[in-house]
Each structure stands twice: as C-alpha cells, then as structure tokens.
C-alpha cells in the first residue's frame, strides 16, 4: 500500500525546495554575470574602481527571486547612460544572458514535478 502521508509532506516541501534551488542557481548566475561584465567592460581602466566594485547578487523579494548586476561607483550611471552608452556593460550583459538564464530556470522547475 502507498504511504500518502509521506507523499503529501513531500508535495508541501516542493515550493521551499524550488525556491532554495533557484536561489542557489541565482547566486551562481549573479557571480557569472559579474565576472563577465568585469572582463568584457568596454572602457579602459584608469583606477580599476569601476571594475572592482561591480557587483552581482541574488535576492529573494516579495515578488520572487531577483538577480542584480550593479555598479559600485558613483559614476556608474554615467558609464551606462552617458557618452551615447558607449561604455555600457550592465544592460548589454543582462540582455545577452537573460534568455539562457530564464530557460534554465524553467528546466529546473519542470524537473521538480
């Protein structure tokens, strides 16, 4: 005979397991995005501060799980939106990598059925 109690317990843990797995994946992706942006930056380092202070991180929010990539210098906005966006790296990196990240997330969720 089947133990339905155990099955119900495991089904109840699915959202927690999915969130935990997606957060772990998000942290890995954030680190990869950070590394890629630092390596592929279109500007020439003068002090290396813009490169060194770029940060990728993953956070659980009220709306779900969010992956961030941000500058850590006050002139980061100028790099991204000034100079006709010649030195932008954050949006181009996210635009390039987002489809594969989303596809991988869907695979992870589908594999937990």
In this model, does residue 33 exceed pLDDT 60? Answer: yes
- How far is it, in rounded angstroms, from Cα 37 to Cα 39? 5
Q: Is residue 1 very low, low, confident or very high in pLDDT (cuts 50, 70, 90)?
A: very low
User: CA of 44: how far to CAs of 50, 53, 55, 86, 87, in Å?
Assistant: 10, 15, 18, 12, 9
Contact between 112 and 18 under an 8 Å Cβ cutoff? The reply is yes
Q: What is residue 79's predicted lDDT score, i.e. its pLDDT?
A: 96
pLDDT-above-70 percentage for the chain: 88
Q: Residue 81 corresponds to which tokens in the numbers above?
A: 């939106």
């Amino acid at each position: 005979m089947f133990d339905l109690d155990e099955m119900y317990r495991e089904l109840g843990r699915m959202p927690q397991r999915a969130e935990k797995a997606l957060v772990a994946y998000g942290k890995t992706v954030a680190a990869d995005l950070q590394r890629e942006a630092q390596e592929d930056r279109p500007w020439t380092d003068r002090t290396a501060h813009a490169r060194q202070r770029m940060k990728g991180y993953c956070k659980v929010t009220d709306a779900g799980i969010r992956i961030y990539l941000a500058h850590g210098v006050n002139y980061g906005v100028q790099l991204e939106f000034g100079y006709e966006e010649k030195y932008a790296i954050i949006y181009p990196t996210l635009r390039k990598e987002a489809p594969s990240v989303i596809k991988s997330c869907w695979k992870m969720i589908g594999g937990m059925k």
